[in-house]
Amino acid sequence: MLRCNLNYKILSNKNTQFMETGTTNRKRFYKPWHFLSQAGKRPLRILWEVFDTYHPDELKQELQCWQRQALCNDNSAYDEGGAREDLMDFIQQLFRLIEAFHVLNEQKNAGRKRKHQKGLSKDARKMIAKMNTPVLLTAGEKKNPQQVIHQFCKTFRGSYAQTELLDMLDAVITYKGGTEVYKGNLVMFYEALLVLVNVAYKIYRHHNS
């Protein structure tokens, strides 16, 4: 029988805890800064972090792959036609939400973007801008992307959106079809989508408060 030797004691230190071992003290139950935990506190900073990790085109391309794998997985939440129809409509609006947040990020974090791209050549900056041009938004929506955010939140309940993302993640993890799937970044991509959805509802609630 495997036994664990819990040879330590907890030392009180104001609002945190430390574990004392035979060699050193380390902070207990602490995680470094993560955008997932900050979504409700600094939404504009979070948008910058998400789009610094994934370009909008990358988000949409990966989301398209998730949709295919979810729809091709018979052992998932999408084994019925109604569930598949809901998923496709949800993802279409999620594409629009990604583009709207990209526009909002460009508007609100322009200074961060200039600083971040300072070392890039002019051609490289043009290429990045061309790659991430919104194609699903009207001219009016590009000027005022918050209307797309509000529309998304009016169409889908927050609990539904969060559950749909989790069901997609589960379907991709358990997918056993003929397409090879790299699963090393699934949780990270799920977190990015979840953060965007959570920020959307925060903006929507603030607008209606």
pLDDT per residue as tens digits for the range 17-55: 545 555 567 778 776 655 555 555 677 788 888 998 899
| CA-wise closest residue to 51 among 100, 124, 122 | 100
Quote the pLDDT of residue 52: 87
Q: Do residues 171 and 186 lie in contact, with contact meaning Cβ atoms separated by under 8 Å?
A: no
Closest CA to 145 of 102, 205, 113, 192: 102
Helix (H, G, I), strand (E, B) or coil at 15: coil
b/e map 67-76, b = 16+ CB within 10 Å:
bebbbebeeb
How many residues are there in the chain?
A: 209
pLDDT at 209: 81
Instruction: Choose the most confident range, by mean pLDDT, from 19-23, 126-130, 172-176.
Output: 172-176
Question: What pLDDT is recorded for position 30?
Answer: 73
The residue among 205, 202, 191, 203 whose CA lies nearest residue 50 is 191
* pLDDT digits 0-9 by tens, 56-105: 999 999 999 999 999 999 899 999 999 999 999 999 999 999 999 999 99
The answer to whether the beta carbons of residues 126 and 158 sit under 8 Å apart is no
Q: How confident is the model at residue 3 (pLDDT cuts 50, 70, 90)?
A: low
Query: Is residue 35 within 8 Å of 195, Cβ to Cβ?
Result: yes
pLDDT for the residue 26: 78
